[in-house]
Structure 1
Amino acid sequence: MNLGIEGRKAIICASSRGLGLGTAKALAEAGCDLVINGRNEQLLDQIAKDLAAKHSVSVTPVAADISSPEGQQAVLNACPNPDILINNNGGPPRRDFKELDRQSIQDGVIQNMITPIELIKAVIDGMAERKFGRIVNITSMSVKMPIEGLDLSSGARAGLTAFLAGVCRQYAQHNVTINNVLPGKFDTDRLKGGFERQAEQTGISIEEAKRLSSEEIPAKRLGNPEEFGKACAFMCSAHAGYITGQNLLLDGGLYPSAF
């Protein structure tokens, strides 16, 4: 399917690996010019060269902490008028809520709620003026199904979801959409860290921990970042203009709900 976004400009936050990189690959394949972001400058530069060569698009790497005002400004300087914004960021580490202090709570809310709101504020009026905008927030399955130890991440992402539920409807008339994509268990470095902890705590191998986790999923496998990226790319497409304020759950059927 032609997504109808060839030549569009896209910012993809935290896109040097995992789900962000999967999304960058899908948008490059669709013909978008990209600004990619992460903290590893050397890795970003290589990704930019590879994507540009493979898909004949412009790819600008910006090495910066997207949660910082300076990092946000650097990304926006590289792409002042994006048509597409993919909000993505690392979440707080797994931790018992009783171990959280005020500073760590504030940091988590900045990462997963305040940062995406600030970026949306910076770009949404321009999108409305140009009559095209696609904003996708990569949140988490934990917004719907709490995960022990990820309370801060879940709370901040749920706060973002509620905050934007009204905002998105103000801009729908301008062909600007805001949606959330909720990943379940995907084969990424973040999930690998969980398998390593489980293996250490239980004495099983990392591969066995991965197998046991996969068995809990009706699809009997972990998701891969490439299929996640293609779902995000569709939400950014010209065909998705009538979809806004929605939470697209990509979890292989793990969350048991009819609605």
Structure 2
Amino acid sequence: MNLNLRGRRALITGASKGIGAATAEVLAEEGCDLHLAARSAPALEDLAHRLRATYAVDVDVHPVDLRRPDDLARLAEEASDLDILVNNAGDIPGGSLDAVDGKAWRHGWDLKVFGYVDLTRLVYARMKARGRGVIVNNIGVAGERVDFNYIAGSSGNAALMAFTRALGGRSLGDGIRVVGVNPGPVATERILTLLEAHADEGADAGLMAGYPLGRAATPREIADLIAFLASDRSAYTSGVVFTVDGGMSAAGA
């Protein structure tokens, strides 16, 4: 599907693997020039080399730690003149209230919650000056299906859902759309590692059997939606968050 994105400029955070890398692939297929940000320089370089060779697009890499204000400011300056921002980086720890101490809680939120907010603030100002742009926040279904054993992540995701709706509710007045995506279980390295750890008891098969279609979503399925939302085919969409979990939230699963 031609999303008419050729020649657009997109920045993707957390781009070295998982949904971030899949989003880079889809946008490159659509002809976007890319800025890829993550902490792992070798992984970014490998991905950038492949995307340049395969799709003949410009790809710049930015090894940064988005918890650091100086890195955030440098990234926004180096990746200026953007059409699309995909906020995707995050590693909020799992655990209940007594298992996640204040230091771990703040460390996780500094990357995902405040990282999204602070980078959006910097990019939004530049988009507003140009009168156009799209910001897609990849958040997570735990913000609506809250989880006692993922309390820091549920709370952070809920905050980002509210942030997306509050900003996107008025952003079209500045020519900017702000939308969010809430993936449910996705077959990323993190989930596959968890399943492997329990494979000796067949827990992986049992867990997957409980998912719609007997599987988790693929990163590409989430990335395809992100690309569509970033395109002009979704030009009247702002201030909303789309859930992609095979219907589990709707079913109360």
Sort the TM-score into its range (normalised by shorter chain). Answer: over 0.9
Do residues 223 (structure 1) and 217 (structure 2) align? yes
| Aligned pairs for 1:115-194 within 5 A | 115-194=115-194
Structure 1 residue ranges (4+ consecutive) displaced by more than 6 angstroms after TM superposition: none
Q: Give the unaligned 5+ runs of structure 1.
A: none
Q: Report the counterpart of residue 59 of structure 1 in structure 2.
A: 59
Choose from 217, 220, 238 the match for 2:232: 238
Distance in 2 (alpha carbons) for counterparts of 1:90 and 1:109: 8
What's the CA shift for 1:87? 0.5
Do residues 212 (structure 1) and 195 (structure 2) align? no
- Identity across the alignment (%): 28
Secondary structure at the residue paired with 2:212?
coil
**1:33 partner amino acid:** D
Distance in 2 (alpha carbons) for counterparts of 1:178 and 1:85: 10
Normalising by structure 1, we get a TM-score of: 0.91
Q: Report the counterpart of residue 43 of structure 1 in structure 2.
A: 43
Superposed CA deviations along residues 69-105 of structure 1, whole A, max 9, x for unmatched, are 1322332232112111110122222222202222222
What's the CA shift for 1:109? 2.2
Do residues 89 (structure 1) and 104 (structure 2) align? no
Distance in 2 (alpha carbons) for counterparts of 1:112 and 1:197: 26
Q: How many residues align?
A: 252
**2:230 partner amino acid:** C
Superposed CA deviations along residues 162-220 of structure 1, whole A, max 9, x for unmatched, are 13322212211333111111111111111123224444xxx51xxx3332222112222
**1:238 partner amino acid:** D
C-alpha RMSD of matched pairs (Å):
1.7
Q: Give the unaligned 5+ runs of structure 2.
A: none
**1:114 partner amino acid:** F
Q: Report the counterpart of residue 75 of structure 1 in structure 2.
A: 75
**2:11 partner amino acid:** I
Normalising by structure 2, we get a TM-score of: 0.93
Secondary structure at the residue paired with 1:97?
coil
| Aligned pairs for 1:14-29 within 5 A | 14-29=14-29
Change (3 A) 1:164 1:253: closer
Distance in 2 (alpha carbons) for counterparts of 1:161 and 1:117: 11
